[in-house]
A and B are shown apart, each in its own frame.
Chain A
Amino acid sequence: MTAEPLLKVENLKKHFPVRGGILGKEVGSVKAVEGVSFTVHKGETLGIVGESGCGKSTTGRMLLRLIEPTDGKVYFEGQDVTTLSTSEMRKLRRDMQMVFQDPFASLNPRHTVEKILEEPLKVHGIGTPKERKQKVRELLEIVGLSSYHAKRYPHQFSGGQRQRIGIARALMTRPKLIIADEPVSALDVSIQSQVLNLMQDLQKEFQLTYIVIAHDLGVVRHISDRVGVMYLGKMAELADSERLYENPLHPYTQALLSAVPIPDPLFEKESVVLEGDIPSPSNPPSGCTFHTRCPFKMDVCAQKVPELREHESGHYVACHLYTENGSAASQNTQVLEEGKHE
Chain B
Amino acid sequence: MSSPRSRIAAHIRDIPRSGIRDFFDIVSTMKDIISLGIGEPDFDTPWHIREAAIAALERGSTSYTSNLGLLSLRQAIARYGERVFNIHYKPENEILVTVGVSEALDLALRAIIEPGDEILYHEPCYVSYAPVVIFAHGKPVAVETRAEDGFRLTRAQLEAKVTPRTKALLLNFPNNPTGAILEPHDLREIADFAIQHDLIVLSDDIYAELTYDGRHTTIASLPGMKERCIFLHGFSKAWAMTGFRMAYACSTPELIEAMMKIHQYTMLCASIISQEASVEALTDADADVEEMRAEYHRRRNFLHNSFKEMGLPCHQPRGAFYAFPYIGHFGLTSKEFALRFLDAEKVAVVPGTAFGECGEGFIRCAYATGMEDLQEAMRRLARFIHSLQPNARPQPNAC
Instruction: State whether these chains interact.
Output: no
